[in-house]
Amino acid sequence: MIIANWKCNGSKKMIQDWSKHYKDTYIPFKNTFVGIAPPYIYVEQLINLINAYDLDIEIGVQDIDISSGARTGAISVDMIQDIECQFTIVGHSERRTIFDESNESVSAKIDSVGNKVETILCVGESAKENNDKETRNILEDQLSVIEGKVLPSSFSVAYEPVWAIGTGNTPTPEEINDIHKFIKDVVQSSSENSIVPNVLYGGSVNDANAESFFKQDNVNGALIGGASLQGKSFANIVNIFNGKAI
Ligand code: 13P
């Protein structure tokens, strides 16, 4: 599973160029979920281009609201389903820090999504928490949002250490592997139906380091910010995940 999180980046022109560059670089594959989460307003343009180029890419969104109706500025799960989105990210650290998102609202979002579209829950510790060796406690707290929930089998978690996002720094592949195992165990023991989720790694993934992460048993894919903004480098990462030569 390889997901692009474009955050608040993009333009009509960028998306046209991106699609062409992706198409020229990717090597066709089977059985890999490749997704892009653009800003909402570009979803339709991107879907049209992906259909026009016949690309095997699902479109999703970067966040979702818990309900519909009198909620100014919000987008509901039913709306994204209506425009054929397949997944939503929830709980990204930028939502938690910039927009004050709490575990309670993340939990409500997971409930509102249910199994209408796939959910990718982001968790990750800050630099200070990492230095203080608090990573596992922090992840346990963030994962407490799924306690007692019956989760869809497609439910995924993205481990994104805050200190690795956009910095060029990453944990070692072995450290990531250990943390992913921990996340799988916590989700299995705390979800009502004992699911073992796919766990993606996110934070400064690029086409030079992706292979080292993908080699790890418990790394089921990646959630990619900066390197996903170029169609060519994102396609390179997809090719690497699929075991195709660059
Ligand atoms: P970067 O790949 O730019 O570090 O961003 C990671 C991220 O936040 C994806 O959600």
What's the pLDDT at 244? 75
Annotated catalytic residue, options 58, 92, 129, 180: 92
Q: What does the chain come to in residues? A: 246
Does residue 115 sit within a domain?
yes
Provide CB contacts within 8 A for 188, sequence distance 6+.
194, 195, 196
Q: What is the DSSP secondary-structure string of 153-214?
A: TT-EEEE--GGGTTTS----HHHHHHHHHHHHHHHHHHSTT----EEEEESS--TTTHHHHH
Report how far ligand 1's centroid is from the alpha carbon of 222 (Å). 9
Give domain status of residue 246, yes or no.
no
**What 3-state DSSP class applies to 122?**
strand
In this prediction, residue 134 carries a pLDDT of: 98
For residue 220, tell me if it sits in a domain.
Answer: yes
**pTM for the complete prediction?**
0.97
Q: Is the CB of 63 under 6 A from ligand 1?
A: no
Predicted confidence at residue 180, as pLDDT, reads 98
pLDDT score, position 213: 98
213 in a domain, yes or no?
yes
| Residue 79 lies inside a defined structural domain of this protein | yes
Q: How many domains is the chain built from?
A: 1
DSSP state string for 36-83: EE--GGGHHHHHHHHHHHT---EEEES---S--SS-TT---HHHHHHT
**Domain for residue 131, yes or no?**
yes
Residue 92 among the catalytic residues: yes
We report the CATH number of the domain holding residue 112 as 3.20.20.70
| pLDDT score, position 245 | 56
Domain that holds residue 178: 2-241
- Output the tens digit of pLDDT for each of the chain's 246 residues: 999 999 999 999 999 999 999 999 999 888 899 999 999 999 999 999 999 999 999 999 999 999 999 999 999 999 999 999 999 999 999 999 999 999 999 999 999 999 999 999 999 999 999 999 999 999 999 999 999 999 999 999 999 999 999 999 999 999 999 999 999 999 999 999 999 999 999 999 999 999 999 999 999 999 999 999 999 999 999 999 999 755
33 neighbors 58 (Cβ within 8 angstroms) = yes
C-alpha 170, offset from chain centre: 17
Of 3, 94, 160, the residue with max ligand 1 atoms within 8 A of its CB, to mutate for a pocket test, comes to 160
160 is catalytic: yes
Residue 187 is assigned to a structural domain of this protein:
yes
3-state secondary structure of 5: strand
218: which residues sit within 8 A by CB, 6+ positions away? 177, 178, 180, 181, 184, 199
